[in-house]
Amino acid sequence: MKNKKIYIVITYVLLGIFGFVMLFPVIWMFFACFKSNNEIFGSLALLPESWSPEAFIKGWATTGTYTYAKYFINTFALVIPTTLLTLVSCSLVAYGFARFDFPGNQFLFMILITTLMLPNAVIIIPRYALFNKLGWLDSYMTFFAPAAVGCYPFFVFMMVQFLRGLPRDLDESAYIDGCGPFQCFIRILLPLLKPALFSAGLFQFLWTWNDFFNTNIYINTVAKFPLSLALRVSIDVTSNIKWNQVMSMALVSVVPLIILFFAAQKYFVEGIATTGIKG
């Protein structure tokens, strides 16, 4: 028995150390925001000599025309509609796939799975040209439109898997009660689909919030920059870079994600689990 206990203690200790090492960059980032520019480099000290919120204030205001308030608003304006549209379209499409055995269902579903592996790099250039023709470049339509038509196979897949786990009797009882398919969906299935919706929503929120490659290509004017682009600009300045300001804004931009994660941990995990297991 003692051996086992020692074993457990060692495990805890190792895990703890490793965990600390894992989180260390984020912890360091937090403290760096309060340091002066010189303290960040060349010194091993974790804690700042003096705690000054100056970096946050100056970093937020930036030397440009817009403050980070604008960039935050932009990010919300981009991420929230995209997420909502994704949820609506993907759940409907998943419903169609999971509950209706029209001819070609399996074939189309196979195509859906294949698109899971379609690399973004291959389609980005023609998409750019397409958006150019539609006049959507430099606007958030480049994100809203694909989201509105279910172009996120990962989420459709996730919801299909989840739906398959719900017994068909529920549908049948709804139909007996005289519901049409849509009502059946809204009244019966949707409430049960909540965990999957939650997970999908969280992931889409997260991915869109962090997106850099696509936003970099589609969004051009500074007034429309989301946080990821604004941060990129901040390390490009022509005069001396104030790293503590850059760090403070980087921290501020990830804080909402961390909060969201802690509040909704369970759904993150469940979401990954659902797609993973039944695939």
The phi-psi region of residue 104 (left if phi > 0; otherwise alpha if psi is between -120 and 50; otherwise beta) is left
Least Å distance, CB 135 to other proteins, is 8
Among 6, 8, 60, 204, binds other proteins (CB under 8 A): 8
What is the Rg, in whole angstroms, of the alpha carbon atoms belonging to the chain? 24
Among 125, 164, 165, 177, binds other proteins (CB under 8 A): 125
Beta carbons within 8 Å of 17's beta carbon, 6+ residues apart: none
Least Å distance, CB 119 to other proteins, is 5
Among 68, 97, 143, 162, binds other proteins (CB under 8 A): 97
Q: Contacts by 25-28 with C-beta closer than 8 Å and gap 24+?
A: none
Instruction: Write out the two tokens for 207.
Output: 């991915």
Among 2, 3, 5, 236, binds other proteins (CB under 8 A): 236
Least Å distance, CB 242 to other proteins, is 11
31 with 248: CB under 8 angstroms? no
170 lies in the binding site for other proteins (CB under 8 A): no
Q: Is 83 helix (H, G, I), strand (E, B) or coil?
A: helix
60 with 231: CB under 8 angstroms? no
246 lies in the binding site for other proteins (CB under 8 A): yes
DSSP secondary structure string, 168-200? HHHHHHHHHTT--HHHIIIIIIHHHHHHHHHHH
Among 68, 159, 243, 245, binds other proteins (CB under 8 A): 243
Among 6, 13, 61, 111, binds other proteins (CB under 8 A): 111
120 lies in the binding site for other proteins (CB under 8 A): yes
Among 129, 164, 165, 186, binds other proteins (CB under 8 A): 129
Least Å distance, CB 277 to other proteins, is 6
**Number of chain positions touching other proteins (CB under 8 A):** 129
CA of residue 43 relative to chain centroid, distance: 34
60 lies in the binding site for other proteins (CB under 8 A): no
User: Is 52 or 264 the residue whose CB approaches other proteins more closely?
Assistant: 264
What angle do helix axes 105-116 and 68-99 make, rounded to 10 degrees? 150
1 lies in the binding site for other proteins (CB under 8 A): no
